Amino acid sequence: MKATGFPQGLFLVLGGRATELLGQLGDVALLTGRTFYYALKPPYELRPLLQQMDHIGVKSLSICGIAAVFTGLVLALQTSYGLARFGAKAYVGIVVSLSMVRELGPVLTALLVGGRVGSGITAEIGAMKVTEQIDAMRALGANYIKKLVVPRVLSTMLVLPLLTVLADVLGIMGGMIISQYEFHVESHLYMNTIWRNLRLADLLSGLGKTVVFGFLIGIVGCYNGLEVSGGTEGIGRATTATVVTSAILVLISDFFLTKFFWWLEILV
């Protein structure tokens, strides 16, 4: 009985988890469809969108800027040590710029914003759910998707590319500083290698990723906030789930988006 009961119990647990996961994916897909539907449906309210852009973008400048500068410093330091073995320190600029523009800038910015903003969105909407404010909005006939979800998702999608541009610039500048003062690579040589080799497609591929990253962070944060249950403890669990889920989704989607943009560049 034990030999036959163990696999049966394991299959039941796995089946239950798979069913739960499929149900959550269906709920997220439904929330996504409703979000874009109400985003395109008038009336258009700009004030909540601008407020969320200020909350998400302006208040994330410091953390993204600091992370980008030190990422550029470390990247240039490690790259220069490696290239010095082959007498190719002059090419450190293009290595740093490509790494920042195509991968490190978008991904690091998305992870930082996802940890800060995603958890905040979940906590804010979750508190409204626990205190029955969302139920009150429904009772009054207000569309809580348009009022709460649409501004947060759209603002995250709009702000993340701007933060990524800032991170790219600061990371490249940080790499230039460490290359000049640590390895004596002149700044004009550093910048010339970037202008000659960095293409517009490299920048657009990185920025294109951030739009998807912003959508994932916003929709996951809103979904977990709307699904909060169990009082304040439920809010804590939901915020933790948002941080972990958004980080995993950013990393997974980064691989497929990289493949897609490489294929698109080859095709074009």
Are 194 and 172 in contact by the 8 Å Cβ rule? The answer is yes
Please state, in angstroms and rounded to a whole number, the distance separating the CA atoms of residues 231 and 103: 39
**pLDDT at residue 2 is higher than 60:** no
pLDDT digits 0-9 by tens, 163-181: 999 999 999 999 888 888 8
- Domain with 146, as residue range(s), is 46-267
pLDDT digits 0-9 by tens, 190-212: 888 888 888 888 888 899 999 99
- Residue 9 forms part of a structural domain: no
- Residue 35 forms part of a structural domain: no
| Cα dist from 51 to 41, 139, 180, whole Å | 20, 25, 41
Average pLDDT over residues 63-87: 85
- Cite the DSSP H helix spans in the chain: 2-40, 46-56, 61-84, 92-99, 105-113, 119-130, 133-139, 144, 150-183, 187-197, 200-226, 231-267
- Residue 160 forms part of a structural domain: yes
- Residue 3 forms part of a structural domain: no
- Residue 247 forms part of a structural domain: yes
CA 72 to chain CA centroid, nearest Å: 19
Average pLDDT over residues 47-72: 88
- Residue 82 forms part of a structural domain: yes
DSSP state of 186: -
Q: What is the pTM of this model?
A: 0.88
- Residue 214 forms part of a structural domain: yes
- Residue 2 forms part of a structural domain: no
pLDDT at 255: 93
> What is the SS3 assignment for 57?
coil
Out of 3-17, 23-37, 77-91, 222-236, pick the least confident.
3-17
